[in-house]
Structures are given as C-alpha cells and as structure tokens.
Amino acid sequence: MDLLHIHPILLQAAPSWLEQSLHGNGKINVVVAVVGLIVLGLGLWMWRMDLRLKRMEERQPK
Amino acid sequence: MRHWWWKIAAIALLFTASVAGLYIPLSPALVHVSPDRFGAGLVKVQVTGYNTRFHSDVAVRLENGGDTFCPAQVEVLDATHLELTLVVPAGLREAMTDLVVGDLRYPGAFYTKGGGEGFPAMDCGDAIPVEEEQHFTFPNRSILYESIRNLHFHVPMWFTMVALMSLSVWHSIKGLGSNSLEHDRAAVGAVDVGLWFCALGLLTGALWARATWGTFWTNDVKLNGAAVTALIYLAYLVLRASVTDPAKRARLSAIYNIFAFALLVLFLFVVPRINAVDSLHPGNGGNSGFSDLDLDNRLRIVFYPAVAGWVLLGLWMADLRIRMARLSEQLDR
C-alpha cells in the first residue's frame, strides 16, 4: 500500500473557527454578527450619553 | 410634546424593516454539487439545494454548449438533496455544464475539459417547479446567500452617516452667516453621532467582507474612501479640541466642515463610480448594482423603509446629543 499517498482534500487547510462561524447555515451567521454589532454600538452610545448626563448632574448647583 | 410623530415613525420603520429583513425567506436555489468535475462515463453526483422541496417527479437535465443530456437515474434523498446517476456522454462542447432541476438553474455547475463535437439531444421532461407555493422571498445569490440580508443593516449605516454629515454642513453654513453658537453646537452634535454610524458601517462591512470576499479589508476604492472620510471627520473633532475661544472655534471648524463634506461626496460618491476604477461594491466602478440583480424589487420594499428608519433614528440621536450640549453649556454659565 502506498502510505505516502495523501488524498488532495486532506491537503486543504482546515477552515478557521471564524470562517466556519461566518459561513455556517447559508451565511446567516454573518447577519447575526452584523445585527449584534449594531446593537452593541447603540448600547455603547447610550452608555456614553449616560456618562455625560452623570457629569452634568454632578455639576448641577445643589 | 412638539414634533414627536417622526420619533414614532423611526421606531415603526426600524421595527418593520428589521423583522422583515430577518424573517423573509430566501428563494430556493441550487447551491452545491459534489463532485463538481467529471469526465465521460458513469458518475454519481450529489446535488444540494437551499430552501427547496425536491420531489420524486422533478425533471433534471444538464446543458452543455446547447446540447442537453438527462441523468440515468434521479434519487430524491430529502427535500434539499438529490443523487444523480449520470452517464456523461463523450463530446461535451464546453468546459462548463449547467445543471437544471425543475425551474432552478445552477450555471456552470460542472467542469470538464471541453473540445468535443456534441452529442445527440435528449428530452428530459417538463420543468415542474421545485417550490409550488410562490410566497414573497429575497433573491438567493451565490456567495451571498443569507448574508444578502445585511443590505438592510450595513448599508443604512452609511445613509445615516451621510444624512448626519449633510445636516452638520448645513448648520456650519448657517452658522458662518449668523455667527450663532447654536449652529456650531448642532454641527458638532451631528458629526459626533455620524462618526458612530461611520464606525458601525466600517465594522459591519468588515464582517460581511470576511464572509463574501474572504478578507476583512481589501483595497477597494469604496473602503479606502470611507476610511479616509472617517479620518477627515476625526480631524474635525481634533481641530475643535485644539481651539479654546468658542467664537473662533465655531468659525474655524465650520469652514473645515465644508471642505470635509466636499471630500466626503468625492470619496464616497464620485471616485468609486469612475469606470476606470474597479470596485467590489455593487453599483460601483463598472460593477452591477442590486437593482440589476432583483428586477422584481423584492429587496427595495424592505431596504427603503430600513434606510428611512435608521436615518430618523440617527437624527433623533443627534437631537438628544445637541440638546444635552446646550444644557451643559447653560450649567457652565
């Protein structure tokens, strides 16, 4: 038996975890990632507005 | 409450467009064949469909250079998988062979080294639709697949950014004429929120690019244009921070803002549309737009409400930001 023979499919590099997660299920995962990122961005904006308001409240004359 | 209706409109549009953008199914398509290369002779091929309902009386044929041949046997494994037993004739004219299952076509599904003289035509039966119920669907494009939905999320980020930067430059021009600091506050508030949308546009674009073009960043004209635009507007904020006198800061940054907006128009709308430049983005540099791909406007019905919703939300966020800046200045006095 020819032990040195490697099937061509084994020579292809295994896809990274990222590639697998972005390409899964007809690439719906990249949509989930994009929507999640947008919600995260809006959340960060809310956080920053909260901080600004807090600083204003602290400056308010008692 | 004055002028509250557009805030309700923003929420209603965003809700409708987001739900529709995620919920509406993709139209059925053939997405994969294995193996995708064959020579003349007996070969077994597995066909994978997406959102299909393969049934036992589905008509299958293969087309090569105007000639048609039928599989010797079609076995329906399940609603999305077929196994074809092919007796591939010698004499395929062209390297690429199309696969047609029912009313679905997979162009260039198979590869063979062409150069034959053709073969006798066969009749494989009538094309019975794979999917009987025709409900509202999004186009199923190869490479994009489900990620075509990102059109309703990634692209509105840029529309919102451009709307906010337009609002900002309008306030800058008004501010130069009136010397009012109120316009200056509005201009910087709009840029501030606009840059958030720019950042979201760049990041969501990078993710989408990874899944379709294979890399987070390419030297695409539109990508580089967007990055340069982001830097120009960041410099606007840096410029403002370096001037302490409010009146001087307002005048200087208003003039800068007008130049910045001119460059935004140039980098996002003029340079990418030059035909000599190649762009991966649809509708740019000789690349066809989405309008060429879906003639029945299935994407537009969701896309335009999404854009309107996001633009209104962006204006609302800028409004909050500007009102907060106004209060903050009153506190300082």
Supply the DSSP symbol for B120: -
pLDDT tens figures, B7-19: 999 999 999 999 9
Q: What does the alpha-carbon distance between residue B46 and residue B36 come to, in Å, rounded to a whole number?
A: 9
Instruction: Please tell me which residue, B163 or B300, carries the higher pLDDT value.
Output: B163
Burial B222-255 (b: 16+ CB within 10 A, else e): bbebbeebbebbeebeeebeeeeeeeebbbebbe
pLDDT tens figures, B83-92: 999 988 888 8
The residue in chain B having the minimum alpha-carbon distance to the alpha carbon of residue A21 is B211
Q: What does the alpha-carbon distance between residue B73 and residue A47 come to, in Å, rounded to a whole number?
A: 62
The CATH number of domain B29-112, selected from 3.40.440.10, 2.60.40.1930, 3.90.1530.10, 2.40.30.10: 2.60.40.1930
Q: What does the alpha-carbon distance between residue B180 and residue B251 come to, in Å, rounded to a whole number?
A: 10
Task: Tell me how close the Cα of A22 comes to any Cα of chain B, in angstroms.
Answer: 6
Which residues of B touch chain A, with CB atoms under 8 Å apart? 18, 22, 26, 31, 50, 144-147, 149-150, 153-154, 157, 193, 196, 199-200, 203-204, 207-208, 210-212, 317, 320-321, 324, 327-328, 331-332
Q: Where are the domains of chain B?
A: 29-112, 145-332
pLDDT tens figures, B212-223: 888 899 888 889
pLDDT at A48 over 50: yes
Reported ipTM: the value is 0.85
pLDDT tens figures, B143-158: 888 999 999 999 999 9
Question: Closest by alpha carbon to B204, among B181, B180, B226?
Answer: B226
Instruction: Please tell me which residue, B279 or B69, carries the higher pLDDT value.
Output: B69
Q: In this predicted structure, which of A11-25, B104-118, B198-212, B243-257 has the lowest mean pLDDT?
A: A11-25
Walk across the sheet containing B60-64 and list its strands. Answer: B67-69, B60-64, B96-101, B104-111
Q: In this predicted structure, which of A1-10, B78-87, B310-319 has the lowest mean pLDDT?
A: A1-10
Q: Which residues of A touch B196 (CB under 8 A)?
A: 41, 45
Number of Cβ within a 10 Å radius of residue A49? 14
Walk across the sheet containing B81-88 and list its strands. Answer: B29-34, B41-50, B81-88, B73-78
3-class state of residue B165 by DSSP: helix
pLDDT at A6 over 70: no
Q: What percent of chain B has pLDDT over 90?
A: 54
Q: Average pLDDT, stretch B26-49?
A: 89
Task: Tell me how close the Cα of A51 comes to any Cα of chain B, in angstroms.
Answer: 12
Q: Which residues of A touch B208 (CB under 8 A)?
A: 30, 34
DSSP letter for each residue of B225-258: HHHHHHHHHHHHHHHHHT--SHHHHHHHHHHHHH
